[in-house]
Amino acid sequence: MTLQLTVSPDFSPDYIAGWYVFNTWLQRRLGTRIHLELYDDFVSQRQAIAEDRVDVIYANPHDAAMLVREKGYTALAAPRNKPDEVVLAVQADAAAQRVEDLQPGLKIAVTRDPDVNLIGMILLEPADLHRDNTVTAQLSSYVLVAKQLLTGRADCGFFLKDAYDGLSAPIRRQMRPLVTSQISVVHHVLLASPRCAELHAPLRDLLLTMDGEADTRRILEGLGLTGWESQDPESTEFMIDLMDTLMV
């Protein structure tokens, strides 16, 4: 059997090669065939999940909640010291200097990342802005969100902080973060399907010891990570419950 590994589409393109290296290393260490499938957008990835074509996934918090509660996946590990924070950015020369300066009718560029969009809307609350008095344009990537903002077709954009930091310097120089979230306990998670339950323990053990050797530390660097920490059911449920609370 060949396992299917995938990664949430919100990761920086800079790490594409790193995930292929990680996949090759994982196959060798587990002695199992693993195919890495990277999807261009959330829609196609979620279709693959619905059709049970994903065995191991590095998932964003929203998809992690669905995978655990609806599909029976087990959360094995989370990236160390890498919370999912959100940047609300405007053009560098925008008049707004703080969130409260933003006005109803605000045009927002977003991706299909539900966690980022949820937290982004929470960041707008000090300006008394919400879905009923703003206009949202949904794009397939953070690069396109930035383009929408820089061409004046949007007043602000919601970015996963890692994705914002991963944009090229010339693009970032034309934008200005207005505010960045500081939730700290929301993060991506690596999960495995019940179809490969026998590999859960060895996979977790491999991840948790990756920072112990120079070679595997370099693999981690290629993913933009410093290491993994164990993700127990209680921690996973806490994060899922928190996301549910934020959605109320």
Its pTM stands at 0.83
Tokens found for residue 97: 């200097």
Q: Could you tell me the sign of the dihedral formed by the alpha carbons of 240, 246, 247, 248, in that order? A: positive
Domain boundaries, the chain: 3-82+185-247, 86-180
Q: How far is CA 116 from CA 10, 142, 162, 215, 228, in A?
A: 10, 11, 11, 33, 22
User: What is the tens place of the pLDDT at every residue in 213-227?
Assistant: 999 999 999 999 999
Q: Residue 247: what pLDDT?
A: 65
Q: Give the helix ranges, DSSP H, for the chain.
A: 16-30, 42-50, 61-71, 114-123, 142-150, 161-165, 169-173, 200-208, 214-222, 233-247
Q: What is the CATH number that goes with domain 3-82+185-247?
A: 3.40.190.10
Q: Fold for 86-180, please state it.
A: D-Maltodextrin-Binding Protein; domain 2 (3.40.190)
The tokens describing 143, both together, are 């690069």
pLDDT digits (tens, 9 = 90+) for 137-157: 999 889 999 999 999 999 999
Domains 3-82+185-247 and 86-180 share a fold: yes
Contact status, residue 86 vs residue 129, Cβ threshold 8 Å: no
